[in-house]
Amino acid sequence: MAGVAVAGVLLFVVLPGYFALQPSFFGRYSSMSEYYEPWSESTHVKAACQDCHVPPRTVARASYNARMVGEFYLSFLWRSREPSVFDTPTNAACLSCHDELRSVSPEGDLRIPHKAHVSVLGMDCVECHNFLVHETSPKGDYIPPMSGCLRCHDGDKAKDTCTACHTEKAVPDYHLKDDWTVIHASRGDDPECEECHGWTEEWCRDCHTRRPASHGEDWRAVHRDKVESRRNCEACHEADFCIRCHGEVPSLNFDPGLALVR
């Protein structure tokens, strides 16, 4: 009798639970294909769902295992549903494998002080690694895009200088010349620009929509003197901008060839 009971447990509990704990189990749900397929091609393909989505605690893992037995049987009756068994990965789950908290990227081209971000600042791993397993980045890979870094590294909350993070990139010498802001548009089609600025589709606009450093509190008083030496108002401002104060488009140093940045 005991043997029958053991066989029953193995057949109706242990085996269903084992199959339900395999990532392939979720491949049967059409509603989860958008998550399952990217995972199957990611670097985390050898990690089971519970390795990331269940806190690495005995009680939490046991509760998840028991729940998945029920999910096994529900899957035969309700394939259109999406099992709500996955919580956002915690730092503890990530650190159960990634315990080295490295300070540079694998290629060595980025400084990434993980300990400072995780242990000191108390950030969650998923705040940066949102494109890692179940969704690819805009570039189609699993690497966090630079735009995510700039949510904090904006020059105010955290440093935004190139060398603060990049080990092999620095501001080119020609960027430091006095006339760079004037002539940079002539190099807009230079493929080298994309190497640093390609992190966003509209990086030109992102810069040109910010108030220039030259436009300080005294700009209204001194802008005439600046225009006498170099006029490039029309690069950002449409003609009626000047008219609002001057009543007409000032002819001083006017260059009709200047293109408006939109």
- pLDDT digit string (tens) for 211-234? 887 888 888 888 888 777 777 777
> Using 50, 70 and 90 to split pLDDT, how confident is the model at 261?
low
For residue 119, pLDDT over 80 is answered with yes
Count Cα atoms within 13 angstroms, Cβ side, for 60. Answer: 15
Rounded Cα distance, 34 and 50, in Å: 18
Rounded Cα distance, 108 and 110, in Å: 6
Characterize 136-152 residue by residue with b for buried, 16 or more Cβ atoms within 10 angstroms of its Cβ, and e for exposed.
Answer: eeeeeebebebebbeeb
Query: Are 51 and 61 spatial neighbours (Cβ–Cβ below 8 Å)?
Result: no
Rounded Cα distance, 130 and 105, in Å: 17
Closest CA to 146 of 195, 185, 189, 191: 195
Rounded Cα distance, 82 and 104, in Å: 38
Neighbours of 20 (CB within 10 A): 23
Rounded Cα distance, 205 and 135, in Å: 27
Higher pLDDT, 226 or 149: 149
pLDDT at 173: 85
Higher pLDDT, 170 or 151: 151
- Range 112-141 average pLDDT: 88
Coil, helix or strand at residue 111? strand
> Using 50, 70 and 90 to split pLDDT, how confident is the model at 90?
very high
Higher pLDDT, 180 or 114: 114
> Using 50, 70 and 90 to split pLDDT, how confident is the model at 138?
confident
User: What is the percent of the chain with per-residue pLDDT over 90, rounded to a whole number?
Assistant: 10
> Using 50, 70 and 90 to split pLDDT, how confident is the model at 117?
very high
Rounded Cα distance, 42 and 108, in Å: 21
Characterize 154-189 residue by residue with b for buried, 16 or more Cβ atoms within 10 angstroms of its Cβ, and e for exposed.
Answer: eeeeeeeeeeebeeeeeeeeeeeeeeeeeebeeeee
- Range 126-152 average pLDDT: 85
Which residue type is seen at 166?
A: H
Which tokens sit at 115? 């300990």
pLDDT at 259: 61
pLDDT at 12: 66
> Using 50, 70 and 90 to split pLDDT, how confident is the model at 11?
low
For residue 83, pLDDT over 80 is answered with no
- Range 117-129 average pLDDT: 91
For residue 239, pLDDT over 70 is answered with no
Positive or negative torsion for Cα 17, 19, 24, 30: negative
For residue 68, pLDDT over 70 is answered with yes
- Range 129-140 average pLDDT: 84
For residue 26, pLDDT over 60 is answered with yes
Neighbours of 128 (CB within 10 A): 18
Coil, helix or strand at residue 198? coil
Q: What are the angstrom distances between the C-alpha of 205 and each of 67, 208, 234?
A: 51, 5, 15
> Using 50, 70 and 90 to split pLDDT, how confident is the model at 242?
confident
- Cβ-based burial of 26 (10 A; exposed 0-12, middle 13-18, buried ≥19): buried
For residue 124, pLDDT over 90 is answered with yes
